[in-house]
Amino acid sequence: MKDLSKNLNLDYKESYSGNGLTTKTKIHNIFGQGIYQINDHIKSSTHINHTYTHSNGFSPYFYLAPKGQFTQNPEDKDLGVARADQSMENSTVKIFQIQQNVNLDYRWNEVRNRTVVGFDYMRTDEAIHFMFTPYDWQPLNSKDFSGMNSNSLTETYNKLKLDPKKFDSSNRWNQIGPKDTYSAYISNVITPLAKLNIMMGIRYESNTIGAGTVGPNDVKTFTQAAWSPKLGVVYELINDKFSIFGNYQNSFKSNGYYIADNKGTPKLSDPETANQLEGGIKAILFDDRFSATLNYYDIQVRNTILRTGEMVPNTSIAIQDQSGKLQSKGMELEISAYLVRGFSILGGVSYNDSKLLKAAPNIQGRRPTVAAAPWQANFYSSYLFLDGKLSGLGIGLGGNYASDNKILDQWNATTKTEEVFKLPAYFIMNANVFYDTKKYRIGVNFDNFTNQKYWIGYTTANAQRLFHAMGSLTYKF
């Protein structure tokens, strides 16, 4: 196995690019809701939302690659930083959504029912314009990465645009068109026995994607719809203290068109479907001062769109396949405690085993590079003085842990080796001090006070902020 994360000596504070590579984004959001209690058993709620976003500017990205990827010489095996850009050109997304729910709480004889009936309509209008290009390759120990900047990238795009036909087919990607989503659902929780709750529900969703543009191609209108059932059971072994639960959920998603071959042909995908089974236990003890939940889940996803590892010739457009199959299973533990007056603690730990069951040969059977670290944990504890001269003063301490995370995990058929790049595990500590009164609150946060160097990312390695402190002052009217 070739672990590419060892002995690379990445510069923690290196930006790998020059000045001016920014994106400007504008977001407008309007939200309204109306809630009306019709009677003791029926409540109506209406939610309306409108969102508008506009984006324009550069979006550079970097990845590890052998020099031969740019020189086309297979003998150039030195590993370095490949630099590229994916810019947005005056792109807009408009979303309008309205949701209506009716909640009912009623009894049939001694059997209690809680029902939600509703519908949802969402209209999305996309006018997204990408332009993209590889830029260069630099050795990891390069002394100057400033050459990739706003001026040089603008010049690069201007040269490419001298051949408009080739630029539109190889360096531009459009995603233009409307989408209408209609859904209706009903869910009911029935309590046939004092300690037993049974939830049953079903949702119908229909997605209509209007005629538009995907990449360089015009596409036709299509509609995809499905029913999604769900079922859950909660049984209290000890009244209000200890219960077990289990549930099943189904969902689907329309992924639209994907690039299916080396000719750049768009093909309509089948809906992506997911089935989830979950079960666990929950305990509430010590007069509600301690609670814990432990659950296990297993999620099966089909018809996922994945890259095949190939590109449309003479372009930067990836060829995809929609027959991917993914399994994600794991356990989660959450704890909340308030055992001593003024002192509270929250914590959690999770383990996730994710695997590509059906994918391209170089990644089949491996963990998806967007699945994050398998082990993650967090905690936060705080103490608030409730009496005396120090009343209102509080202190807190918390931490976050993540195990090593494979952002590259594949088989290299050329070198006959496994290539793995791992972000190292990390544990960071945070603290805060605050003073809270009826009129104001003063606080100071100390994040990563151990000055831990750590990286996060999905297929990328993004260095995170070292120790920093931030103060806040809040005045209450």
Name, in order, each residue with C-beta under 8 angstroms of 349's C-beta and a sequence gap of 6 or more.
Answer: 332, 333, 375, 376, 377
On the question of pLDDT at 96 being above 70, the answer is: yes
Task: Check: CB of residue 372 under 8 Å from CB of residue 407.
Answer: no
Token reading at 473: 């002052």
| Strand ranges for 194-221 from DSSP E | 196-209, 212-214, 217-219
Q: Torsion angle of alpha carbons 237, 240, 246, 251, nearest 10°?
A: 170
Contact predicate 256/209, CB 8 Å: yes
Full-prediction pTM beyond 0.75?
Answer: yes
pLDDT tens, residue by residue, 228-271:
999 999 999 998 899 999 999 999 998 888 888 888 888 899 99
Q: Tell me what the mean pLDDT of segment 58-71 comes to.
A: 84
The pLDDT, as a whole number, for residue 10 is 67
| Average pLDDT, integer, range 426-444 | 94
Closest CA to 316 of 266, 361, 264, 359: 264
Structure tokens at 343: 């002192």
The answer, yes or no, to whether residue 1 has pLDDT greater than 60, is: no
- Assigned token pair, 305: 């769109």
Tokens 């299916």, residue?
Answer: 260
455-471: pLDDT as tens digits: 888 777 788 999 999 99
The pLDDT score that the predictor gives to residue 4 is 54
Residue 46 has pLDDT above 60, yes or no: yes
* Model pLDDT, residue 314: 76
Residues 293-348 pLDDT 10s: 999 999 999 999 888 878 888 777 888 888 889 999 999 999 999 989 999 999 99
Tokens linked to 260:
């299916």
In this prediction, residue 7 carries a pLDDT of 58
Q: Give the mean pLDDT of 2-7.
A: 56
pLDDT at 5: 58
Q: Are strands 42-57 and 426-436 parallel, antiparallel or unpaired?
A: unpaired
Secondary structure of 241-292 in HEC code, one letter for each residue: CEEEEEEEEEEEECCCEEECCCCCCEEECCCEEEEEEEEEEEEEECCCCEEE
Which pLDDT value is given to residue 38?
A: 93
What is residue 170's DSSP assignment?
Answer: H
What is the pLDDT at residue 80?
A: 85
> Minimal CA–CA distance to 259: which of 302, 206, 178, 315?
315
pLDDT-derived band at 104 (thresholds 50, 70, 90) equals very high
Kindly tell me if the per-residue pLDDT of 3 is higher than 60.
Answer: no
Q: Which amino acid is at 129?
A: H
Mean model confidence pLDDT for the chain: 91
Task: Classify residue 58 by burial, with Cβ atoms within 10 Å: 0-12, 13-18, 19+.
Answer: buried
193: which residues sit within 8 A by CB, 6+ positions away? Answer: none
The CB-side HSE value for 195 (13 A sphere, CA atoms) comes to 10
Which residues are CB-contacts of 418 (< 8 A; sequence separation ≥ 6)?
Answer: 1, 2, 409, 410, 411, 412
Cα 119 to Cα 45, 101, 274: the distances in Å are 11, 7, 22
Percent of the chain with pLDDT over 70: 98
